[in-house]
Amino acid sequence: MSVFIYDPPQEPFLNILYEDDFIVVCDKPSGLLSVPGRLLEHQDSLIYRIRQTTKDAQAVHRLDMDTSGIMVVAKDSQTAGLLGKQFISHDVKKAYIAKVLGLIEKSGSIDAPLRCDWENRPLQIVDYKQGKPSLTLFERISSDDNSSIVKLLPKTGRSHQLRVHLASIGHPIAGDRFYAKGEALKLSSRLCLHAAFLEFKHPYTNEVMLFSTKASFAKDVDPSAWIV
């Protein structure tokens, strides 16, 4: 088994999409942790970088280290609490884009309960007896000889949900070092999963805030036109 070495990208140090007195919205690169890890060598993260200028910044949601895309960060604990309520009540709208192995169906849903694989943490597994309800909707955007580009709408927020769900139906995400093998793993040097669309209400003005970014592995797909 290969030894994992944490070597997050340094340029750009932060890709800020929006900032005001209360929130920061960033486009996190693949390979960067969302929050600091326990070990000293795992301190570098999106939150760590924002705290260089905003010492009380707090995460209200996370993306897997290997996943790129949009994250909103609160600048203080009160704002974090207000934003957190939107995530808990599922008032936040999210959409992802992924490149998967093979020709996936035009559209569908994956309704498969998930739980932690305790003997192989942090991996997750489908478990119809002990797993927590987990639902993902998908829509194929394009395809080629051996892969498909898909839009993903997670209706629950389980750890590794999109990665496990797609692998469970035989279409693992390209470059997924946890759940892909063989051809799927060789399709990309990075996990081809990107948080492309995020919509929430500003915690103080109640204004609808909508953000979208393109994925490096699907530059011809414009998520700004998506209605979630």
* Residue reference for tokens 């700004």: 224
Q: Closest Cα partner for 83 from 74, 93, 70?
A: 74
Model pLDDT, residue 5: 86
Q: Specify the number of domains making up the chain.
A: 1
Domain of 113, in residue numbers: 96-186
* Token pair recorded at residue 193: 């999963």
CA 109 – CA 181 distance, rounded (Å)? 23
Residue 64 among the catalytic residues: yes
| Domain annotation covers residue 100 | yes
Q: Is residue 177 part of a domain?
A: yes
The enclosing H or E element of 141 equals strand 135-143
How far apart (Å, rounded) are the C-alpha atoms in residues 22 and 82?
Answer: 11
Q: List the catalytic residue out of 64, 117, 144, 220.
A: 64
Whether 147 maps to a domain, the answer reads: yes
Residue 173 lies in a domain: yes
Q: What is the pLDDT of residue 1?
A: 43
Look at residue 3 in the predicted model and tell me its pLDDT: 62
Residue 40 included in any domain: no
Residue 178 forms part of a structural domain: yes
Task: Please provide the average confidence, as pLDDT, over all residues in the chain.
Answer: 96
26-72: pLDDT as tens digits: 999 999 999 999 989 999 999 999 999 999 999 999 999 999 999 99
**CATH number, residue 128:** 3.30.2350.10
Give the SS3 label for residue 163. Answer: helix
Q: What is the pLDDT along the chain (228 residues), one digit of tens a residue?
A: 456 789 999 999 999 999 999 999 999 999 999 999 998 999 999 999 999 999 999 999 999 999 999 999 999 999 999 999 999 999 999 999 999 999 999 999 999 999 999 999 999 999 999 999 999 999 999 999 999 999 999 999 999 999 999 999 999 999 999 999 999 999 999 999 999 999 999 999 999 999 999 999 999 999 998 877
| Terminal alpha carbon distance of the chain | 40
Specify whether the CB–CB gap between 192 and 174 falls below 8 A.
yes
Of the candidates 92, 189, 106, which has an alpha carbon nearest to the alpha carbon of residue 141? 106
Q: 126, 114 in Cβ contact below 8 A?
A: yes
Q: Is residue 136 part of a domain?
A: yes
What is the rounded CA–CA span in Å between residue 155 and residue 133?
10
69 domain-assigned: no
